[in-house]
Amino acid sequence: MVDNNKESTSTVRVKSMIEKNRQKQSFRSIGEKAVPNLLLGIAMISILTTIGIVFVLISETFEFFNRVSIVEFFTGTVLRPLSQDPKFGILPLINGTIISSVIAMVVAGPIGMMTAIYLSEYASDKARRVLKPVLELLAGIPTIVYGFFAFTFVTPFLRQFIPEMSATNILAPGLVMGVMIIPMIASLSEDAMNSVPNAMREGALALGSTKLEVTFKVIIPAAFSGIVAAFVLGISRAVGETMIVAIASGSSKNFTFDITQSMQTMTAYVVEVAGGDASRGSTIYYSLYAVAMTLFVFTLLMNILARYIARRFREEY
């Protein structure tokens, strides 16, 4: 009896409190309507910035092509922007970018992948809990440190074996870039493989597969789209990497395939010219934008390609 009374009074109190609060409803609904707009506005900041950058890139690139023919730019193998008779062929830069990225991926791809396989399929929980954070720590080292390391350690080391190698060359920064990218590829591929349900592993093991067969024939195919994404991010990172190549590969604008020689990448060219005395309005100033635009289109195409590959070979579960 007493309990019942208690209950009913408390119900009345709660009811009246809710009733009172509901009168503030109008205030609440204003908030409900305003917040999405506020959030949209904030989200627009990065979108508008991107649009702005692309717009500036395009308009300044147009100005550059008024002065230098587009055919010369994309087919020229000679780049000498500061000479009396300047030439603006971008091929040496594209060549340098591709070669350094390929060297980096030759290092980072297999090592990153094998690390991911170990972490996801073989390492004990305990080992994984220690190794993964350490690996991710490696990704936090500033690139200038890697660049310095390539220039003062890796190149002298390599010159013991390849004496004709020049003091600035594309091989050392390429290798070091690869080391820099390993954690990214390993960590993202491991995430993709780890998220494949355990039921798949059990199903494959129950058919008499060895662990290696489970990994290569079931887990990696199932995680393929995630692994492709990891590789593409790795390549994008290599293509966009600046400090390491700027320091360790010098600024020779050679068009060569000899990896023991100095080459310049697109990013390193931008650093060199922007840091030099390119006066505003000069042809060399506009060339910065043309190179940056090329770099942008480069990474964009790669991302599109990666999306296509990931969708094409996707194994959905």
Partner 1 sequence: MKFVTDIKNTRQEEKKQPTKVYDTKDLNLWYGNTHALKNVNFPIYEKEVTAIIGPSGCGKSTFLKTLNRMVELVPSVHTSGTIEYRGENILDPNFMVEDLRTKVGMVFQKPNPFPKSIYDNIAYGPRIHGIKDRKILDDIVESSLRGAAIWNEVKDRLKENAYGMSGGQQQRLCIARALAIEPDVILMDEPTSALDPKSTLKVEELIQELKKDFSIVIVTHNMQQAARISDRTAFMLNGELIEYDYTDDIFQHPKDERTEDYITGRFG
- Contact flag: residue 222 with partner 1 (CB under 8 A): yes
Instruction: Compute the distance between CA of residue 105 and CA of residue 228 in angstroms, rounded to an integer.
Output: 13
Size of the site for partner 1 (CB under 8 A): 23
Q: Taking the complex as a whole, how short is the minimal distance between the CB of residue 227 and partner 1, in angstroms?
A: 14
Report residue 87: phi and psi, to 5°: -125, 135
Piece of the chain touching partner 1 by CB under 8 A; list 19-27, 110-118, 168-176, 217-225: 217-225
> Which range in 25-33, 77-85, 171-179, 195-203 contacts partner 1 by CB under 8 A?
195-203
- Are the beta carbons of 232 and 153 closer than 8 angstroms? no
Q: Which stretch binds partner 1 (CB under 8 A): 205-213, 235-243, 260-268, 294-302?
A: 205-213
How far, in Å, CA of 298 to CA of 60, rounded?
A: 18
Residues 111-150, one symbol each (x = binds partner 1 by CB under 8 A, - = not), give -------------xx-------------------------
Q: Rule CB under 8 A: say whether 221 interacts with partner 1.
A: yes
Q: Which among 26-34, 90-98, 114-122, 214-222 is the span making contact with partner 1, rule CB under 8 A?
A: 214-222
**Rounded Cα distance, 4 and 12, in Å:** 12
**CB 198 to partner 1: min, Å:** 8
Instruction: Output 308 or 313, the one with its CB closest to partner 1.
Output: 313
| CA distance linking residue 140 with residue 133, whole number of Å | 11
Q: Is 281 left (phi over 0), alpha (psi -120 to 50) or beta?
A: left
Mask: binding to partner 1, 64-93, rule CB under 8 A, as x and -?
------------------------------
Residue whose CB is less far from partner 1, 164 or 316: 316
Q: Is 60 in the site for partner 1 (CB under 8 A)?
A: no
* Span interacting with partner 1, options 73-81, 93-101, 133-141, 309-317, rule CB under 8 A: 309-317
CB atoms within 10 A of CB 159: 16
Residue 202 sits in the site that holds partner 1 (CB under 8 A): yes
209 binds partner 1 (CB under 8 A): yes
Q: In 123-223, where does DSSP find H-type helix?
A: 125-138, 143-149, 155-159, 171-194, 198-205, 211-213, 220-222
Q: Which of 78, 131, 139, 205 binds partner 1 (CB under 8 A)?
A: 205
Instruction: Spell out the long-range contacts of 273-276 with Cβ–Cβ below 8 A and sequence spacing 24 or more.
Output: 273/81
CA distances to 66, 73, 274 from 53, rounded to whole Å, are: 20, 22, 17
Q: Which of 124, 130, 132, 117 is nearest to 211 (CA)?
A: 117
* Cα gap 288→268, rounded to integer Å: 11
Nearer to partner 1, 46 or 198 (CB): 198
Please select the residue that binds partner 1; options are 110, 133, 156, 203, rule is CB under 8 A: 203
Contact status, residue 56 vs residue 48, Cβ threshold 8 Å: no
- Contact residues toward partner 1 (CB under 8 A) are 124-125, 197, 199-210, 213, 217-218, 221-222, 315-317
